[in-house]
Amino acid sequence: MTTDPKLKEIIAAQEEIFVRRQPRSKHLAEQAKNHLTGGVTSSWQITAPQPVWLSHGRGSKVWDVDGNEYVDLHGGYGAALAGHAHPAIAKAITSQAGLGTHFAQPTPDAIAVAEELASRFGLPKWRFANSGTEATMDAVHLMRSITGRDLIIKIEGCYHGHHDSVQVSVAPDPDAAGPRNKPNSAPASTGIPRAITDLTLIATFNDLESVARLLDEHNDQVAGMIIEPVMMNAGIIKPRPGYLEALKALLHEHHALLTFDEVKTGLTVGPGGVTQKENVQPDLITLAKSLGGGVAVAAIGGTADVMDHVATGGYEMVGTFNGNPLAMAATRAMLTEVATPEAYEKIEKLRQRAAGGIQKAIQDNGLTAHVVTAGAKGCVVFSAEPVENYRGFLGVDDRYSHAHWLYQHNGGVFLPPWGKIEQWLISVQHDEADIDRLVENFAVFARAVSREAASREAARTDATRTGD
């Protein structure tokens, strides 16, 4: 990955510190390989230089099995808006555990959760599932079932989970991505039949024309479109003003439906997601991640028209664990006691503190980077220009993201791995001291890599002078 010798040295030195601090993690990683496939429980946990094994979390912190403490801004890939062991979540789970954890019959908490989601997101009807993947799978099925059409449109660079229809052009290599103005439907994984990927047409984020062209080329064949209304699997890419509203109008003109996948953005950018912030209501919304306060749960919301199709048996939305009582109890506590207006106010102050501090360090050290934030989520993008779509994201330098991740980790701040793709998550339990640690570590990293950049620049100037 790294070609620059100095940056390569910086990364190697940080990786050495990383491994030295975590001998027990190293041992567990080896032992796990015997019976745990690949030595982890999800392939995204395989990170360089080695997976980090955790023992516990409390408040804004987590501890690894070697006893190192971290300010946790990884947040379980965006699922820990509540922080860890939040008393309200712990109480809800404990009380429900004593009353039974599974019936496959509805419990009253499901009504309270559906009511709260309807009021936050403005869509009247809700159902539940267990993961973001299930929720977006149901949304795609539903759009097809209602319209009787097979094709869907998806944005290049959006991730919607690991079911076949959306495992298309998630992070395609430049040579697989196809022409900029006519992106390929590139399978994102092995095991996805071509017959399925061909049913997913690929458009470009922030480019209405790319959607209009597909709708015209496939007249009366497109069931709908699924989109992360703020892209969050390519750093953070925001919609241009008016883009989402125009998208909805365009799709409706063609009698096609619009799904906002708010699995990541849902509760994190604000109480009612991008939907509420941008004041654009799609036909369907999918939620998961932070919804259950750290318990596996997902939700699908829709307009009365769309969800009536389910209510009247037009599409069977099913699942043994849908609306599981433990998940509903945790979700109810999350919505009513944790993700409160006061919590969002506090997060907004911390957002400003993080963004301001890091942006200052970028400027002080002359880094080619900028900060992008959206509510509790934020990231550093290592490019000079703002990124508007996946093709722009391809130009972001991931060597710096990895080096930054290592500096934070060794300095006691756990950011999500895959730093170019992922974002930090500020939880309701973080405080100013936590954010200051993030900013201080960033400044240390910025000074180190700017020295490296300066010495590279000096070498270039010398070479020019001597005519090398």
Ligand X SMILES: Cc1ncc(COP(=O)(O)O)c(C=O)c1O
Instruction: Out of 61, 125, 127, 160, name the contact with ligand X by CB under 6 A.
Output: 160
Q: Are 128 and 361 in contact (CB under 8 A)?
A: no
Least separation, in Å, of the C-beta of 172 and ligand X? 17
Other Cβ atoms closer than 10 A to 418: 16
Q: Are 313 and 100 in contact (CB under 8 A)?
A: no
Which of residues 144 and 264 has its CB atom nearest to ligand X in the complex?
264
* Cis amide bond preceding 49, omega within 30: yes
Least separation, in Å, of the C-beta of 427 and ligand X? 17
Can you read off the two tokens belonging to residue 458?
């000096």
Three-point CA angle 262, 267, 270, nearest 5° = 105
**Cα–Cα distance between 321 and 455 in angstroms, integer?**
57
Q: Which of residues 210-239 bind ligand X (CB under 6 A)?
A: 228, 233
Nearest Cα residue to 66 out of 34, 33, 19, 16:
19
Stretch near ligand X under the rule CB under 6 A, chosen from 46-54, 199-207, 256-264, 442-450: 256-264
Which of residues 131 and 340 has its CB atom nearest to ligand X in the complex?
131
Which of residues 163 and 213 has its CB atom nearest to ligand X in the complex?
163
**Cα–Cα distance between 378 and 358 in angstroms, integer?**
11
Q: Which residue is nearest to ligand X (CB)?
A: 132
Instruction: Out of 61, 84, 254, 264, name the contact with ligand X by CB under 6 A.
Output: 264
* Residue in 138, 261, 283, 434 annotated catalytic: 261
* Residue in 154, 238, 289, 377 annotated catalytic: 289
Least separation, in Å, of the C-beta of 135 and ligand X? 7
Element (H, E) at 377: strand 377-381
User: What character string, x for contact with ligand X (CB under 6 A) and - otherwise, covers 121-140?
Assistant: ----------xxx--x----
Amino acid at the residue 275: T
Least separation, in Å, of the C-beta of 265 and ligand X? 8
Q: Which of residues 267-326 bind ligand X (CB under 6 A)?
A: 288
Q: Is 452 in the site for ligand X (CB under 6 A)?
A: no
Active site residue 198: no
Three-class DSSP category at 170: coil
Active site residue 238: no
Which of residues 197 and 233 has its CB atom nearest to ligand X in the complex?
233
Active site residue 248: no
Which of residues 199 and 231 has its CB atom nearest to ligand X in the complex?
231
Neighbouring residues of 234: CB distance < 8 A, sequence distance ≥ 6 = 157, 158, 171, 387, 390, 393, 421
Instruction: Out of 138, 261, 422, 434, name the contact with ligand X by CB under 6 A.
Output: 261
Instruction: Out of 92, 236, 263, 425, name the contact with ligand X by CB under 6 A.
Output: 263
Which of residues 138 and 261 has its CB atom nearest to ligand X in the complex?
261
Instruction: Out of 159, 205, 260, 445, name the contact with ligand X by CB under 6 A.
Output: 159
Three-point CA angle 248, 221, 247, nearest 5° = 15
User: What character string, x for contact with ligand X (CB under 6 A) and - otherwise, covers 38-77?
Assistant: ---------------------------------------x
Other Cβ atoms closer than 10 A to 14: 23
Q: Are 255 and 360 in contact (CB under 8 A)?
A: no
**Cα–Cα distance between 114 and 126 in angstroms, integer?**
6
Between the alpha carbon of residue 194 and those of residues 156, 179, 215, 236, the distances in Å are: 17, 19, 21, 30
Q: By CB under 6 A, how many residues form the interface with ligand X?
A: 14
Which of residues 64 and 228 has its CB atom nearest to ligand X in the complex?
228
Tell me which residues touch ligand X (CB under 6 A).
77, 131-133, 136, 159-161, 228, 233, 261, 263-264, 288
Catalytic residues: 159, 261, 289
